[in-house]
Amino acid sequence: MKHTEIVVQGARTHNLKDINVTIPRDKLVVITGLSGSGKSSLAFDTIYAEGQRRYVESLSAYARQFLGQADKPDVDAIEGLSPAISIDQKTTSRNPRSTVGTVTEIYDYLRLLYARIGKPICPEHGIEITSQTVQQMVDRLMTYAERTKMQILAPLVEGRKGTHVKLLEDLKKEGYVRVRVNKELRDIDDNIELDKNKSHTIEAVIDRIVIKEGIETRLSDSIESALRLADGRIIVDVIGEEEIIFSEHHACPMCGFSIGELEPRMFSFNSPFGACPSCDGLGSKLEVDLDLVIPNNELTLREGAVAPWKPISSQYYPQMLQSVCAHYDIDMDVPVKSIPKTKLNKILKGSGKEELLFRFESDAGDVREKMIQFEGVLRNIERRYHESSSDYTREQMEKYMTEQPCQTCEGHRLKKEALAVKVATKHISEVTDLSIVQLQNFFNDLTLSPHDAQIAKLILREIEERLLFLVNVGLDYLTLSRTAGTLSGGEAQRIRLATQIGSRLTGVLYILDEPSIGLHQRDNDRLIQTLKNMRDIGNTLIVVEHDEDTMMAADHLIDIGPGAGVHGGQIVAQGTPQEVMANDASLTGRYLSGKEFIEVPSTRREPDGRLLTLTGAAANNLKDVDVEFPLGQFIAVTGVSGSGKSTLINEILYKALVQKVSRAKVRPGKFSNLTGTEQLEKVIDIDQSPIGRTPRSNPATYTGVFDDIREVYTQTNEAKLRGYKKGRFSFNVKGGRCEACKGDGIIKIEMHFLPDVYVPCEVCDGKRYNRETLEVKYKGKNIADVLNMTVEEGLKFFENHPKISRKIQTIVDVGLGYIKLGQPATTLSGGEAQRVKLASELHRRSNGKSFYILDEPTTGLHAHDIARLLEVLHRLVDGGNTVLVIEHNLDVIKTADHVIDLGPEGGARGGTIVAVGTPEQICEVDASSTGKYLAPVLARDKERTKK
Kindly tell me if the per-residue pLDDT of 877 is higher than 50: yes
User: Is the Cβ–Cβ distance between 638 and 918 less than 8 Å?
Assistant: no
Compute the C-alpha angle 278/282/287, nearest 5°: 65
DSSP-based three-state secondary structure for 807 = helix
pLDDT at 92: 61
Binding site residue list: 33-40, 639-646
Helix (H), strand (E) at residue 561: strand 556-561
> Does one domain contain both 874 and 777?
no
Helix (H), strand (E) at residue 22: strand 19-24
* CATH code, domain carrying 290: 1.10.8.280
Residues in CB range of 671: below 8 A, 6 or more apart: 614, 615, 616, 617, 618, 619, 652, 656
> Does one domain contain both 805 and 918?
no
Rounded-to-10 torsion of CA 767, 772, 775, 781: -30
> Does one domain contain both 313 and 400?
yes
Residues in CB range of 122: below 8 A, 6 or more apart: 128, 129, 252, 254, 255, 257, 420
> Does one domain contain both 45 and 147?
no
Task: Tell me which of 760 and 445 has the higher pLDDT.
Answer: 445
pLDDT at 488: 75
User: pLDDT tier at 834 (50, 70, 90 boundaries)?
Assistant: confident
Asked if the structure places residue 672 within a domain, the reply is yes
> Does one domain contain both 164 and 201?
yes
> Does one domain contain both 763 and 644?
no
> Does one domain contain both 703 and 675?
no
pLDDT at 364: 77
Closest CA to 426 of 437, 436, 412: 412
Asked if the structure places residue 621 within a domain, the reply is yes
> Does one domain contain both 176 and 225?
yes
Question: How many domains is the chain partitioned into structurally?
Answer: 5
As to burial, measured by CB atoms within 10 angstroms (0-12 exposed, 13-18 middle, 19+ buried), residue 263 is middle
> Does one domain contain both 294 and 373?
yes
Which residue among 830, 861, 882 closes a domain?
830
Asked if the structure places residue 427 within a domain, the reply is no
Binding site residue list for ATP: 33-40, 639-646
532-563 pLDDT tens trace:
999 999 999 999 999 999 999 999 999 999 99
> Does one domain contain both 733 and 776?
yes
User: Is the Cβ–Cβ distance between 554 and 28 less than 8 Å?
Assistant: yes
Asked if the structure places residue 414 within a domain, the reply is no
| d(C-alpha 50, C-alpha 44), whole Å | 9
* Residue 649 domain boundaries: 611-681+869-946
Asked if the structure places residue 316 within a domain, the reply is yes
Strand pairing category for 746-749 and 421-422 = unpaired
* CATH code, domain carrying 761: 1.20.1580.10
> Does one domain contain both 671 and 634?
yes
First to last CA, the chain: 53
> Does one domain contain both 886 and 932?
yes
Kindly tell me if the per-residue pLDDT of 1 is higher than 50: no
- 51-55, 251-255, 571-575 — which is least confidently predicted? 251-255
* CATH code, domain carrying 544: 3.40.50.300
Which residue among 830, 850, 879 closes a domain?
830
Asked if the structure places residue 857 within a domain, the reply is no
Q: What is the CA radius of gyration of the chain?
A: 36
Asked if the structure places residue 87 within a domain, the reply is yes
pLDDT at 624: 96
381-416 pLDDT tens trace:
999 998 888 888 888 898 899 888 999 999 999 999
Which residue among 199, 219, 247 closes a domain?
247
> What SS3 string covers 152-215?
EEEEEEEEEECCCHHHHHHHHHCCCCEEEECCEEEECCCCCCCCCCCEEEEEEEEEEEECCCCC
pLDDT at 310: 80
User: pLDDT tier at 124 (50, 70, 90 boundaries)?
Assistant: confident
Q: Is the model's pTM score more than 0.85?
A: no
572-610 pLDDT tens trace:
999 999 999 999 999 999 999 999 999 999 899 999 999
Residue type, 825: A
